[in-house]
Amino acid sequence: MSTLTTNYLTPTGREEAWRFTPLKRLGGLHNGTFKLATRNTLALTGAAPAGVTFERIGRELISAESVTDDVIVGRIHEAASEVTVLKIAANTELAEPISLHRLAGGLTDAELSRVQLRIGANAKAIVIIENSGDHLLAEDIEIICEPGSNLTVVSLQEWDSKTIHAGRQHAIVDRDATFKSIIVTVGGDVVRLLPTVEFKGQGASVELLGVYFATAGQFFEHRMFVDHLVPNAKSRVNYKGALAGQDAHTVWIGDVFIRAAAEGTDTYELNRNLLLSDGARADSVPNLEIETGEIVGAGHASTTGRFDDEQLFYLMSRGIAVEDARRLVVRGFFNEIVSEIGNAEIQDRLMTRIDQELEKAGAQ
C-alpha cells in the first residue's frame, strides 16, 4: 500500500481515539501494511426504484463532502479508486426500503470502500446495508441529507467470525432534515465504527441508535461524534450492548460537542451494557463539551450491569426455565432499538442471532 500524501499520524495506541483499539488485530488498516484489493463489493439488492440511482463513479470525478482526522478514513479518501453513489432524488417518497449488501470479500487483501448516500430535499427513504461473510474492510459512508429530507440508514454487521471492519458513517444534516441511524454489530473479530454527525442547518434532528453483542474474543467499538455547529438542532443517542465470554470487549464513546453558535441545542445520549459473564469488558465513555449555556437540554447516562435477579425471579416464578428467562430479558433489552428497524424479517433474524449468541455464551 502506497504512503499517504496527507500527513496522518500512524496510531500507536496511545492516542485518545485509539487507546481501546487492538491495533495488532486491525490487519494493517491503521498503518497501511496491507495488500490493496481491487474489488468493490457493495451492491444494490434488486432494481433501483424510480427516483433512485446507484452507480460507481471514478474517484477523480467526485470529491469528499467532509474532512476527517481518522487515518483509515483518510486512506480511503486518497486510495479508493471509485466511489459508490446512491442518490435519492428530491421529493421522492419510497414506500419500500432500499437494500444494499456486500458480495463475497476476503481476508487476504483489504478493500477500501468509499460510499456516498445522498438524499434530496424533502425526500423520504430507508436504506438498509447488510454485511455478512468474512471481509477485511475499511469503509467510509458519507450520508448527505439535504434540507427537509427524512432518511433512516440501517447498518447490519452480521459478519462471520474473522472479519476486520473499520469504518465511518458520517452524516451531514441540513436544515429541517431528519436522520436516523441504526447500527447493529453482532459479528466479526474486530469492528470499529465511527457514527459521526455534522449539523449543517437549523431545525435538523438526528437519532443515533445501536445494538451490539460481543462474545468471547470479539472487539466491537462504536465511537460517535455529534457536532452541533448550528443553532436549534436536536440529537439523541441510544446504544445498547451485551457481552458474554472471555475477553469479549466493547467500547462505546459518545462525544457530543455543542459549539458557541449552537444555541437552542437539545441533546441526550445513553449507553447501556449488559454483562452476561465474567471475563468480559465494556468501556463506556460519554463526553459532553458545551460552549454555550443557551440550550434546551444536554445530558448523558451510561450504565453497565449484570442480569437483574429480580427480573429472572419474576419470570421463573411463572414457570419459565432460567435459560428461557434469560433469553426473554436479553431480547427485551435489545427490543427497544431492534423494533425501530421497522422490518419484521430483519428484526426476527437479528433476534434469532441474539438468541444464538446468548446460547453460545451459555455453552462456554
Partner 1 sequence: MSTLEIRGLKVSVDTENGPVEILKGVDLTIKSGETHAIMGPNGSGKSTLAYSIAGHPKYQITGGTVTLDGVDLLDMTVDERARAGLFLAMQYPVEVPGVSVSNFLRTAATALRGEAPKLRTWVGEVKSAMAALSMDPSFAERNVNEGFSGGEKKRHEIMQLELLKPKIAILDETDSGLDVDALRIVSEGVVRAKADNDLGVLLITHYTRILRYIKPDFVHVFADGRIVEEGGPELAEKLEANGYAEYVSK
> Applying CB under 8 A, which residues contact partner 1?
308-311, 313-322, 324-325, 328-329, 331-336
Measured from the CB atom, the residue of 294 and 323 that comes closer to partner 1 is: 323
DSSP secondary structure string, 193-247?
Answer: EEEEEEE-STT-EEEEEEEEEE-TT-EEEEEEEEEE-SSS-EEEEEEEEEE-STT
Measured from the CB atom, the residue of 204 and 354 that comes closer to partner 1 is: 354
- Dihedral of the CA atoms 133, 274, 70, 173 (nearest 10)? 90
Instruction: Tell me the closest approach of the beta carbon of residue 354 to partner 1, in angstroms.
Output: 12
Measured from the CB atom, the residue of 52 and 325 that comes closer to partner 1 is: 325
Among 199, 207, 280, 205, residue whose Cα is nearest residue 239:
207
Spell out the alpha helix ranges (H) of 43-197. Answer: 71-79
Instruction: Tell me the closest approach of the beta carbon of residue 329 to partner 1, in angstroms.
Output: 7
Measured from the CB atom, the residue of 14 and 318 that comes closer to partner 1 is: 318
d(CA 143, CA 50): 20
Instruction: Tell me the closest approach of the beta carbon of residue 167 to partner 1, in angstroms.
Output: 28
Measured from the CB atom, the residue of 287 and 335 that comes closer to partner 1 is: 335
Q: Residue 157 in contact with residue 184, Cβ under 8 Å?
A: yes
Measured from the CB atom, the residue of 310 and 345 that comes closer to partner 1 is: 310
Instruction: Tell me the closest approach of the beta carbon of residue 317 to partner 1, in angstroms.
Output: 5
β pairing state of 82-88 and 52-58: antiparallel
For residue 133, the SS3 value is strand
Residue whose cell numbers read 430507508: 126
d(CA 138, CA 323): 38
d(CA 107, CA 136): 5
Instruction: Tell me the closest approach of the beta carbon of residue 339 to partner 1, in angstroms.
Output: 8
Among 99, 199, 103, 111, residue whose Cα is nearest residue 153:
99
DSSP 110: B
Instruction: Tell me the closest approach of the beta carbon of residue 334 to partner 1, in angstroms.
Output: 7
Instruction: Tell me the closest approach of the beta carbon of residue 318 to partner 1, in angstroms.
Output: 4
Q: How far are the Cα atoms of 307, 315, 331 from residue 318, in angstroms, in the given order? A: 18, 5, 18
